[in-house]
Amino acid sequence: MTGEPAADLVYVLDDDEQLCLSLAWLLESVHIRTEWFTDADAFLDAFDPDRPACLVLDVRMPGIGGFHVQELLNAQGAALPIVFVSAHGDIPMSVRALQAGAVDFLEKPYDPQRLLDILQNALREAGERYARRTEQRSLRERITHLSPREREILRQVVEGVPSKVIARQLGISLKTVDAHRARIREKTDADTLGALIGDMMRCGLRPEEV
């Protein structure tokens, strides 16, 4: 995807203040901005979901642990690539993190250059996720202009149902279905219904969400 905003912020959440400071120094030495926290509540209060960034997250912390933080972020639909770090990591732990959407899992102590490489990739992913999320919001807004009948027809078109079948199922004429299709294109500012469906697929917008 082209034109995505550059992501240049890394959040660091680790209860080890010295690790936070050293990681912030490392990242800022290559011109990557950091905001670090030793407390999960403070991070969650400061976290801006509308800002493309990634997160370096420790697994074990007093209070809210890393996996709980990941669950909270996932629950709010945050498009935030997460890199887990742990001094006590094991395979089940890393599998759990990755299955829940983390982009990587590193054991402490980690190689600084490897971490930098991982975070550069995570920042690129953050920019792409942010662009997709922005496009999805725009697409949802366009679809809100559709009437209930137009939404129903769009859902069926996305599912590949032919216009003749749609007309028969809804008890309307084929001409009426074609008129609804034309209004869907107009209201969503789409050149064609195929282009609109392509936008929906690219944004991950499913028919049942219309």
Which residue, among 121, 118, 198, has the nearest Cα to 158 in the 3D structure? 198
Kindly report the CATH number assigned to the domain that includes residue 111.
3.40.50.2300
pLDDT tens across 60-74, in order?
999 899 999 999 999
Do residues 164 and 127 both lie within one domain? no
Question: Does residue 162 fall inside a structural domain?
Answer: yes
pLDDT tens digit string along 35-54? 999 999 999 999 998 889 99
pTM for this model (two decimals): 0.76
Number of separate domains in the chain? 2
Q: What pLDDT shows up at residue 75?
A: 93
**Confidence band, pLDDT 50/70/90 cuts, at residue 6:** low
Is residue 7 pLDDT above 60, yes or no? Answer: yes
The single-letter code of the amino acid at 163 is: S
Question: Among 136, 165, 189, where does a domain finish?
Answer: 136
Domain range holding 34?
9-136
User: What pLDDT shows up at residue 206?
Assistant: 79
Residues 58, 83: contact at Cβ < 8 Å?
Answer: no
The reply to whether 43 and 111 lie within a common domain is yes
- Quick: pLDDT tens for 113-166: 999 999 999 999 999 988 888 888 888 898 989 999 999 999 999 999 999 999
pLDDT at 137: 87
Burial class (CB in 10 A: 0-12, 13-18, 19+), 134: middle
Asked, for residue 149, whether it belongs to a domain, the answer is: yes
Whether residues 85 and 167 share a domain: the answer is no
The span from the CA of 82 to the CA of 100, in Å, is 10
